[in-house]
A and B are shown apart, each in its own frame.
Chain A
Amino acid sequence: MRIANVNYIKVDHVMEPAVRLSGVTKVFGDHTAVSDFDFTIPRGAIYGLLGPNGSGKTTTIRMIMGILLPDQGSVELFGGSPDFSRRNRVGYLPEERGVYEKMKVIDQLVFLGELRGLTRRHVRARAVEWLDRLDLTEWATRKVQDLSKGMQQKVQFIGTVLHDPELLILDEPFSGLDPINQDVLESIVLEQKQRGTTILFSTHLMQQAERLCERVCLISGARKVLDGNLKEMKRRERSGVVAVEFEGDDRWLSWPGVSDVERVGDAFHLSLRPGAGHDEILAAAVAEGVSLRRFELLEPGLHEIFVRHAGDGPEESQAYGPGGGS
């Protein structure tokens, strides 16, 4: 990506990824929270950081925000160190909900906006709009501590987007919200993306990530498991399993390219050995003269991809909760 030619510095600047981590490691005492992370978030992407609780998502985000310093490696925000002027272009929603409990909702939002350099009148008007949008108008003059946790979270989310940041970093933004509010927040996140905002969010809910993200980074036990474009990832991964339904002799299933056969209802799920193509097995079936009713390359869910790469230790699979299956 980097172009050395001086004449292109401006172009280069624009093309800088929003976030780039290389070889980042963070250790707390004898516990390694993040081990040798590399990933890049291009401008305008919506990027999901996925992993079970305790896998290092929040630590990573806190390093991007310059709250923690990496022990090894480098963190770049907009092509430089996450210093004050760059952090100023980010809207950050921490995992622990940070609100001034004794302040009125509207005052808190005006305070946050003014700190970002907006004028009071302007920020007040915007805050009123946002409160209306998130169904909080009647709570505007109440103290934050009178609000439910979910409502406080929405107030804090408004504080995050109020100043139209270039990059939104949302640490578990959806946890603790009811499904309706999750949908509202999802639509706002997508709308921000439409505006060209880069979005990084962490979650342990795989389904949500599948719905929202273009790119994901799967992490487990402080290590990066996999990252990249979600569609490509799925395409790449799906060569593994073929679902077939057929009539006739099942001898062809013992074809050498098939490593495992699992019966699922009427269908058979065939796991292919690495290197074995699905067209070859199709040819084998045709050669046996069986009549195929179904031949489908299965797209694995994120959860499956994750388990395939990270292994399914009991505590990890547990961490996804009921909504995490695929």
Chain B
Amino acid sequence: MNRVWVVVRREYLERVGTKGFILSTIAVPLLMLGLMALSIFMGLRAEQSGRELALIDFTGRLHEPIAERMEDVGYSVEIIDPATGTEALDRRVLDDEIRAYMVLDDLTAEEGTFLYRGKESPGRVRSGLIRGIVVETVLETRLSFTEDVGGVRELLGGGQLEFEAVGEEQSDAARTSSLITGIVGAILLYMTMLIYGAYVLRSVLDEKRNRVVEVVISSIRPWQLMLGKILGVGSMGLTQLGIWASFGALLLFLGLPMVAANWPAAEAAVQIVEFLPSAGAVLLFLAFFLLGYFLYSALFAAVGAMCSREEDAQQAQFPVVMLLGIPFIMHMSTIQGGRVVWMEWAALFPFFSPILMYPRAVAGTVPLWMVALSLVLMGLAIVATAWVAGRIYRVGILMQGKRPTLRQLVRWVRAA
């Protein structure tokens, strides 16, 4: 056991101290934050530009309420005398003086159809917005001839769905929080198992390629070496996750209140704390991460042991990556919500459990016994996988040359 510890320490220290680790630990979250900020910024800019419109109203009675409403949502609207004609307006559009102009006529007053002339179509969101304003105005002018019987206007407004959960008392914030935790957690589980698993594969392959393993193997048993590698890389993974979590906590509990105190506009952002995962969700994440990591890293170690070349490993790891990718795709396809019962059963399959079960467990859509069962099954699967992988590893690390066929693999596993 002492020797396992020697391997763990080497794997850990040789990784955590490197530039690569520091870079990936600091740069990756920074990059993600940067991308998020950039996309929000670009979105805001696009929203604020190109809001100059002109309006020609042949009906003579719609332009005022429409212009008023559009200015309410941030457009600047210029009313044009219908006698002017459209040629001058076309030129102004081409000269980028205005983004577009709208033509309101009798058809608009009757059924809400209007002309929008610009260089580009307004896009889905804006056209919905403008359409809504026009239709609302037309409806209002037409209804003004009649009484508003029994709140018919609200009805025309589309009604409202007010959701109430049955059987549990969960606030909106808690529900949103568990949804976000589930999605982010599944993505994080997928990425960490894939990346740390690949580290284990590389570590095994490198040791095999530089033949160090042939020396080392006379001092330590193969399963101890494999265990040491998996534990070492896993500890590095936990360190990285820990660093990210503490950075996040620091930002939320210290950084955000400080910003909010000095900059009142950001006060609303403090509410983000309400959407943080609960302690239980964090613990559950750790459980699924550890079990899932052990399960997949044993597979990756076996793949590394059966290959002698980089290119071989690229191909040989494909089934493992698939095994990890399938539940991820399945999960993403049901992210819109709703229960898919057969998928809850699929989530019991140990190799799918981390990604499929974790979000369901956090959201509370599966019974507790299923969550517990999935954890137990994963534990059992780890024992079985480690046994098979350990046997492949033991033979594989000393083999050079061609990748074994499936039949040879079976023979390796069977060999005592």
Residues of A within 8 A of B (CB): 62, 65-68, 84, 87-88, 90, 92-94, 96-103, 107, 111-112, 114-117, 159-160
Q: Which of B187-207 contact A (CB under 8 A)?
A: 207
Chain B positions within 8 Å of A65 at CB level: 214, 218
Complex Cα distance, B398 from A114, in Å, reads: 22
- Contact of A111 with B6 at beta-carbon distance under 8 Å, contacts A94-B214, A96-B211, A98-B210 already known: yes
Contact (A94, B211) CB under 8 Å given A87-B218, A102-B14: yes
B339 close to A (CB within 8 Å): no
**Nearest residue, chain A, Cβ from B18:** A102
In contact, A92 and B215 (Cβ under 8 angstroms): yes
B3 contacts A by Cβ under 8 Å: yes
Distance between Cα atoms of A226 and B144 in the complex (Å): 117
CB distance from B400 to the nearest CB of A (A): 9
Contact code string B204-235 (vs A, CB < 8 Å = 1, else 0): 00010011111111111100000000000000
A67-B212 contact, Cβ under 8 Å, with A88-B219, A111-B10, A117-B3: no
Contact digits for B153-178, partner A, Cβ 8 Å, 1 yes 0 no = 00000000000000000000000000
The smallest beta-carbon distance between B300 and chain A, in angstroms, is: 20
- The reply to whether B211 and A98 contact each other, CB–CB distance below 8 Å, is yes
Out of A93, A101, A107, A112, name the residue touching B210 (CB < 8 Å).
A101
Please indicate the chain A residues that have their CB under 8 angstroms from the CB of B211 in the complex.
94, 96-98
State the main secondary structure of chain A at its contact with B. loop
Q: Is the CB of B218 within 8 A of A92?
A: yes
A96 to B18, CA, bound (A): 26
Q: How many Å from the CB of B151 to the closest CB on chain A?
A: 74
> Across the interface, which residues of B come within 8 angstroms of A94, CB to CB?
211, 214-215
Contacts of B14 in A (CB 8 A): 100, 102-103
Complex Cα distance A92/B213, Å?
11
Query: Contact between A115 and B220 (Cβ–Cβ < 8 Å)?
Result: yes
Q: Which 4 A-B pairs have the closest CB atoms?
A: A98-B211, A87-B218, A115-B219, A98-B212
Q: Bound complex: CA of A314 vs CA of B180, how far in Å? A: 75
Q: Contact at A90–B218, with CB atoms within 8 Å?
A: yes
13 contacts between A and B (CB under 8 A): A62-B214, A65-B218, A66-B218, A84-B221, A87-B217, A92-B215, A96-B210, A98-B213, A101-B210, A103-B10, A112-B216, A115-B220, A117-B219
Smallest CB–CB gap between B320 and chain A, Å?
A: 25
User: For the complex, what is the distance from the CA of A90 to the CA of B215, rounded to whole Å?
Assistant: 10
From B6, B215, B217, residue with most partner A Cβ within 10 Å: B215
Assembled-state Cα–Cα distance A66/B3 (Å):
20
> A100: which B residues are within 8 A, CB to CB?
14, 207, 210, 212
Query: Is A159 touching B210 in the complex (CB atoms < 8 A)?
Result: no
Which chain A residues lie closer than 8 Å to B215 at the CB level? 92-94, 98, 112, 159-160
Q: Which of B210, B217, B218 has the largest count of A CB atoms less than 10 A from its CB? A: B218
Minimal beta-carbon separation of B394 from chain A (angstroms): 11
Other contacts beyond A66-B218, A96-B210, A115-B7: 9, CB < 8 A:
A62-B214, A92-B214, A94-B211, A98-B214, A98-B215, A100-B14, A102-B18, A115-B220, A117-B219
CA distance A63 to B210 in the complex (A): 19
List of B residues within 8 angstroms of A92 by Cβ: 214-215, 218
A99-B212 CB under 8 A given contacts A111-B6, A114-B6, A115-B3: yes
Q: Are B219 and A67 in contact (CB under 8 A)?
A: no
How far apart are the CA atoms of A75 and B95 in the complex, in Å? 91
Residue in B closest to A102 when the chains form the complex, CB atoms:
B14
Contact A67/B10 with A115-B219, A115-B220 known, Cβ cut-off 8 Å:
no
Known pairs A114-B6, A117-B3; A99 contacts B219 (CB<8 A):
no
When distances are taken between beta carbons in the complex, the residues of chain B under 8 Å from A90 are: 218
Residues of B close to A66: CB separation below 8 A: 218
| Neighbouring B residues of A67 by C-beta, 8 Å | 214, 217, 398
In the bound complex, what is the Cα–Cα distance between A111 and B215 (angstroms)? 12
The residue on A at minimum CB distance from B225 is A115
Q: Which residues of B contact A114 (CB under 8 A)?
A: 3, 6
B210 x A115 contact (CB < 8 A):
no
Please, how many angstroms separate the alpha-carbon atoms of A146 and B211 in the complex?
A: 19
